Every structure is written in C-alpha cells, then in structure tokens.
Amino acid sequence: MGKVIEITRRSIHAFFQSYHSFATTAALLVFPVSAATLLSQSLTLSSSPILRTVSSRLRLLFEAAGFPATSQFFSLLSFKISQTILTSISTLPFTHIFLILAKASVIQIIHEFPRCRLALPPFSSLLHLYPSLLLTKLTNSLAILSANATIFSILLLVFNVADILHLSSSNSMLVLSAASAIFYSIVIANTMVACNLAIVISAMENSGGYLSILKALVLIRGRTATAITLALPASLSMAAVEALFQCRVMRPYRLSGNSNPSVIWEAFLITYIYSLLIVLDTIITCMFLKSCKMGEGSHWYAYDCQTDSEPEAKGAQQA
C-alpha cells in the first residue's frame, strides 16, 4: 500500500507541476473523446432499442454455446458487453485519433519529469509517435478480444462439466456464477492494466505492436496488485462522472426536451473533469512504469524535481 500511495503522490505532484500543459491537453485533445464517450453512453442505456437487440443476440449466443440461460451473471455480462461494443464503435474515430495524440502528449511530458522539462511537446513529435501508438492500440484490442475468448472457453468448459456432474442446482449455479464473475473481473483487469502500460512503453520507446504488450507483461509480473490498485481510483472516479453526466445533463434533457444554458455549461464542466481524469490516469500509469523500471529496491521516489534556483544555491554553497 505504501508503494501505491507514493506513486499516487508523485503523479499528483507531476500533474500540478505542469498543470497548464496537462489542462491544455485535456481541453484540446481529450475533450472530444470525453464528449463522444459520455454522449454515446446515453444511446446505450437499457431503454435503447439498439442495446436491447445486441444484448438479446449475445444472450442467445451464450445459450447456444451451452451457458445456463437462467444465470444472472451471463445476463448482466451480455448487457455490459453490448454496451461496451456500441460505445467503442461510436467513439472509434475519436479514440484512434484524439486519444492517441493526447496520451502521446501526456507521456512525453512525464518522460521529462525528473529533468523538470514539463512543457507541452510540439505537435510534430506527437505525429512522429502516432504510428507506433496506433499499432499498439490495435494490438491491445486484439489482446482484449483474445482474453475474452479465452475466458468464455474456460467458463464454457466449467459449466459443461458441472452439467455432466449434475451440479445444475440453483445453489451450484449461484456459486459458479459468482466464481465466474470474479475470474472474469481479475483477468480483464490484468489485461487492461497490461494494455495501458503497453501504450506508455510504446510512446517512451517509439515501438509498437505485440512487443510492447510483452514488455508490459514482464514488467507487471509480481506487481499486478499494485497496478490494479492504482487503476481503481481513476476508474471509479470516471464511473462516478459518467453517472453525474447522466443525472445532471441527460436526465433533464429527456424530461424537458430542450437544454437551457446552465445545463449546457454544466455538461462542458463535467466533460472537462472527465478529460482531466483520463489525463491523470495516464500520468499514474507513466509513474508506475518508472517505478517498475527502477526496481523494488530503488528509492526512485526520493528524487525531487529541482527548481532553477536550487542549482544556483548549490553553486553558491560550494563557492
């Protein structure tokens, strides 16, 4: 827990050390992605006919594969997967252009953090990193799909074995569903952490593809608990902001049918907060990568960024 607190502290320090650069990145590059994500989620609510259609198709697919139709876990899973698919498709142009450039900007700023050059990088350098990051992001998508396919294959085997052994009672199905939910959450959490770390590695080393994911898997070996704990606060905060957007912006719009200026300004504010959380999450991932590279026994966090006046003070002392 001490490691998590220290990485979080250093991340927040870096965030405020170059707040103007990060705020500019959030406003110019992350804001379109945040707006598209929050608005797309309004189209993928439970009342959406598109979501109901996709969710029912997935439920039928689960039933045809042999999963128990009465399991609440697979009903909820089909709904969440449908929501994720629709949101990903509707925000695809934004995430593959603006989000990649935003992450490249944040990672380059943090990469210079120990040397205190926390300035906004030039746009040409972001374009230089874009092909590597795009390749890594596409590889990450394949890795997530592979992880889901592997999980479903294992769960299918488990439920079929349980059916052969006549363990299809309600209590047995409840226990298996709970175990399946835990197993699914752990595997997907580890996969997402590795994919996020692969993006940072790709930007820092200007190399993309599966090699970045392999390096990420090697680095987080033995540190998965720390990585997941670091990712949890940002994920929960973004989920809270998403709920706030639905409550404060979309709900009044559905009730009245029009948007007054106060709601519009509130929507901009909530979207900007969501953008800052994405930036902060990227900063935390960068700091976690630095801690992994420095090693467990190295006091990487003991080095404080020196200001311009500190070298002059040291020179004066030596004189």
* Burial state string for 159-187 with b = 16 or more CB within 10 A and e = fewer than 16: beebeeeeeeeeeebeebbeebeeebeee
CA proximity to 59, closest of 27, 41, 37, 81: 81
At residue 31, the pLDDT reads: 95
pLDDT of residue 2: 77
Residue with tokens 């590597």: 132
- What the block records as the tokens of 64 is 């045809």
| Environment class of 75 (CB within 10 Å of its CB; exposed 0-12, middle 13-18, buried 19+) | middle
Say how far apart CA 199 and CA 144 lie, in whole Å: 14
pLDDT at residue 195, rounded to an integer: 93
Regions of the chain with pLDDT less than 70: 44-48, 69-71, 113-119, 168-170, 295-319
List the chain domain ranges: 2-146+193-294
Residue 119: per-residue pLDDT: 67
Q: Give the predicted TM-score (pTM) of the model.
A: 0.84
Task: Please report which helix (H) or strand (E) contains residue 84, including its range.
Answer: helix 72-90
| 104/200 Cα distance (integer angstroms) | 8
**Do residues 230 and 288 lie in contact, with contact meaning Cβ atoms separated by under 8 Å?**
yes
